[in-house]
Structure 1
Amino acid sequence: MYKIIFFILLSLTLNAKIVDGVAILVQDEPITTLDIKKMMQESHLDQTKTIDLLIRKKLEEQEIKARKIEVTNDEVIDEIKNMAKQNNMTVNQFYEAVTNSENMTSSEIQQKIKERITNQKLFQAIAFSHMEEPDEQEIKDYYELHKSQFNHAQSFSTVVYESKQKDILQEKVDNPMFYSPEISRHDQVFEYNKIAPQLADLLEKTPLNGFSPIIPNGKNGYVSFYIQSVTKNKDVNLDEMKAQITNMIMADKREQVLKEYFDRARLNANIKTIRMPE
């Protein structure tokens, strides 16, 4: 009798912990408080924007399941080959470049590529009309509006400082003469066109002979970049950039279509807020 009561109480306790961990239900599928905290750390967004992002992601996942959208390993490998070719790299060089800039393993890179292809297929399934490619005037207008994105540095010569402890790394940033065996360092050159846009933006905003803000390094630690020198890029030739700008415009249009679709889906979805992270 006592054993039965014990197991009932234990079951209730475990269930309570599970429920306590759920922050939001999207069509009865959970987003946990841990999901929110982890995404906030990775994205550097506030809680409201992080929740919006996670709800959108959950709705996308449900739409992908409903439409039975799948991506094969062959599709992922082919896309990686194409991306490497577009950047004048071998596949190994592509993996190395992404690993150096994003601290991602090869399997994590493949997963990101898979998500990208899935998103493209989702758009193709949702879009009801063909999008026209931009004309010359639209390309020129886009270039003028986003000129700072194209007139960028060519490369950054940096010293990369990493530590498992953020406070120790912060002390190094505040006092460059500070030394700790808990901080590792190595020289590294980052080429603008071979790193993630977020990292490129971070390095461009960091002053010469200064430290970047401390960010997670993806390896349960933290990193800051000291800018030693910056190689300026040559003047941008608009004709040479047309293909890239066209892709950027089309990507913006695709995202707008998806945003409008999932904004409507969110209005019609059964979303329940249970608790927020403390």
Structure 2
Amino acid sequence: MQGFLTMTKYFLIFLLIAVPLFARTINAIAMTVNGEPITVYEIDQLSKKAKISKEDAVNALIQEKIEEEEMQKEGIYASPEEVDQRIMMIAKQNGMTLSQFEQALKKEGKTLESLRHDLEKQIRKEKLYRKILSGKLQKPDDEALKKYYLAHKKEFTMPGKVKIQEYLSNDPRALQAIRMQPMMMLPNVKITPRTLDPQKSNPKLMQLLMQTPVKSFTPIVNLGKNQAAMFFVEYKGKPKVAPFAQVKQAIMMRMMKEQEQANLIAYFEKKKSAADIKVIRKP
């Protein structure tokens, strides 16, 4: 009996020691970036959430620390008004009032407050990136666009025909209701079947339709003058290489995006090389 009590005592002591040890391991500092810590827990969580390797998670967190330092140095902030405007814009794009949008967030296990926090970080990063890229981007001329097109022709394809259902309404909320229940019929929504020839259609509309999977709705589009639209993609014909004129704007956007990414990568690689990074333990 005495032996059992002794073993029990040691077991309880082990539990008391093990819990703090576990907590210390979880919150253990893996490394510091210019004195700012990155924990093992942060690396594990980002790796799982983003479904990336721990090495990629470490690199992403190092860049985040460097970005935060740069934003502090440059005095880059996002005001509550800017965050509110972004929330209203997202709600409007989804054809919802703020109250409806908040309810939709709750269904996904999120809160308006957590979204505010995420958007504040996003807006600050956008401002930092604009500052970094200021004066560094060059708009490609027609010759450069054509050269890019010829080198990547197979990437710029369009279907022969696209069959859609067009939904028009003066109330975006009605369109959102149909998105949720496609069989619903509402008097203030006009539905028109259309067959489009990509070469003769609006390039922006075609780009939207190309990004939307078959048997899916596009996002709700604000047409102005109290009109909103969305489209249900029923069918896309066999793809073929699109003519240059039809995809010129898409090529321009892609080339500018590639310039942005190359400049940002070079900027942060330089900052990372100059940063004081101390590895304390492997994650």
What range is the shorter-chain TM-score in?
Answer: 0.5 to 0.7
By how many angstroms is 1:23 displaced?
0.4
Q: TM-score, normalised by structure 2?
A: 0.53
Q: Identity, % of aligned pairs? A: 23
Q: Which runs of 5+ in 1 are unaligned?
A: 1-9, 158-189, 195-229
Matching of residue 262 in structure 1 with residue 268 in structure 2 = yes
Task: Pick the aligned partner of 1:108 from 90, 94, 114.
Answer: 114
Equivalent residue number for residue 22 of structure 1:
29
- Aligned Cα root-mean-square deviation (Å): 4.4
Please report how far the alpha carbon of residue 49 of structure 1 lies from its aligned counterpart in structure 2 after TM superposition: 1.1
Are residues 1:119 and 2:177 paired?
A: no
In structure 1, what is the equivalent of residue 224 of structure 2?
A: none
Deviations 1:51-89 (A, max 9, x none): 11111111111111111111112112333444566x474
Aligned-residue offset at 1:47: 1.2
| 1:10-69 deviation digits (Å, cap 9, x = unpaired) | 9xx89x938970001111111000000000011111111111111111111111111111
Q: How many residues align?
A: 197
- The superposition leaves residues 170-190 of structure 1 with CA deviations (integer Å, 9 ceiling, x where unpaired) of xxxxxxxxxxxxxxxxxxxx6
The answer for the alignment partner of 2:56 in structure 1 is 49
Question: Does 2:79 correspond to 1:72?
Answer: yes
Q: Distance in 2 between matches of 1:239 and 1:80?
A: 36
Matched residue SS, 2:212:
strand
Question: What corresponds to 1:154 in structure 2?
Answer: 212
Q: Per-residue displacement from partner, 1:188-212 (whole Å, max 9, x unpaired)?
A: xx64658xxxxxxxxxxxxxxxxxx
TM-score, scaled to structure 1: 0.54
Residues 89 and 271 from structure 1, CA distance in 2 versus in 1: closer, same or farther, beyond 3 angstroms?
same
Q: Which amino acid aligns with 1:40?
A: S
| Corresponding residue to 2:256 among 246, 250, 253 | 250
1:129 equivalent to 2:135? Answer: yes
What is the CA distance between 1:156 and its match in structure 2? 6.9
Q: Deviations over 1:208-260 (max 9, x none)?
A: xxxxxxxxxxxxxxxxxxxxxx8445888987876666555434432322211
Q: Could you give the per-residue CA deviations for residues 80-111 of structure 1, whole angstroms, max 9, x where no partner exists?
A: 444566x4745549947984997643333333
> 5+ residue gaps in structure 2?
1-16, 159-206, 221-232
Distance change (3 Å), C-alpha of 1:84 and 1:146: farther
